[in-house]
Amino acid sequence: MLLFLVNNVTKFETSNFSDENLDLISFCYVPPICTEWHAVASWTWDAQDETCGICRMAFDGCCPDCKLPGDDCPLIWGACNHAFHLHCILKWVNSQTSQAHCPMCRREWQFKE
């Protein structure tokens, strides 16, 4: 029995471990090797508000004209720091005859640089 254990230990020593400090018992257990870690995350727009002030849809969703959220329906910030769906605010800006204002604060609409 002892012989067997020693044999095994020597095998392990030659194959995997060169760390002399580990005691005998610990040889039987090797730290788990993680071969793959598949994590899950959700993305969110880094905006203060939850919903778009124009279409009242969630920022993390998309504007009524879009099918896919995210890259296809981005947010845009104005100089006043209000955020809207790009499509929503563009529609708004284009519909204004003169200078467009931010729908939230009535300031002149400027895209944030």
Partner 1 sequence: MELQPTPPPAANLHVLRALTPDSVQEILHSYAAFCSSTASLLSGDLSATGPDFVSNVHALCNHGLRSLVRDHFLKSLEDSFESNSVPRFWRCFDDYRNVGILEKSEGGLDFENRVRQVLYGALEEISSDKAYQEKCLLMLVRSLDSYKESFPDGKCDLDDERTYLFSRYRLMVASVLMNSLPRHFPEMLHWYFKRMLEELSTTVDGEVDAGDGEDDCPDEDDMDLDEKGKASFRSGKMDIDESTFQGKLLENNKLVRKIGKVVHDLRRLGFTSMTEDAYASAIFLLLKAKVHELAGDDYRDSVLEPIKSWIKAVPLQLLHALLAYLGDTISYDSPSPGLKSPLASHQSSCSPGMNTPPEGLIRWQLRLEYFAYETLQDLRISKLFEIIVDYPDSSPAIEDLKQCLEYTGQHSKLVESFISALRYRLLTAGASTNDILHQYVSTIKALRTIDPAGVFLEAVGEPIRDYLRGRKDTIKCIVTMLTDGTGGNPNASGITGDSLLEELNRDEESLENGGVEEDFNTDEKQAWINASLWEPDPAEADPSKGSRNQRKVDILGMIVGIIGSKDQLVNEYRVMLAEKLLNKSDYDIDAEIRTLELLKACSVMIHFGESSMHRCEIMLNDLIDSKRTNHNIKATIKPSQTEPQEAGLSMDIFNTTIISSNFWPPIQEEALKLPEAVEQLLNNYAKRFHEIKTPRKLLWKQNLGTVKLELQFEDRTTQFTVTPIHAAIIMQFQDQTSWTSNKLAAAIGVPVEVLNRRIYFWISKGIITESLGTDSDDHVFTLVEGTSDGGKTGGNNKSCDELLVGDEEAESSVASVEDQLRKEMTVYEKFIMGMLTNFGSMALDRIHNTLKMFCVSDPTYDKSLQQLQSFLSGLVSEEKLELRDGMYFLKK
What residues line the site for partner 1 (CB under 8 A)?
A: 5, 8, 11-12, 16, 25-47, 58, 60-61, 67-71, 74-75, 77
Cα–Cα distance measured from residue 5 to residue 87, given in angstroms and rounded to the nearest whole number: 71
Separation of alpha carbons 96 and 87, rounded Å: 14
Angle at 54 between CA 51 and CA 55, to 5 degrees: 70
| φ, ψ (nearest 5 deg) of residue 78 | -95, 175
How near is the Cβ of 98 to partner 1 at its closest, in Å? 29
Q: Between residues 45 and 92, which has the closer beta carbon with respect to partner 1?
A: 45
Closest distance of CB 111 from partner 1, Å: 13
Shortest CB 92 distance to partner 1, Å: 19
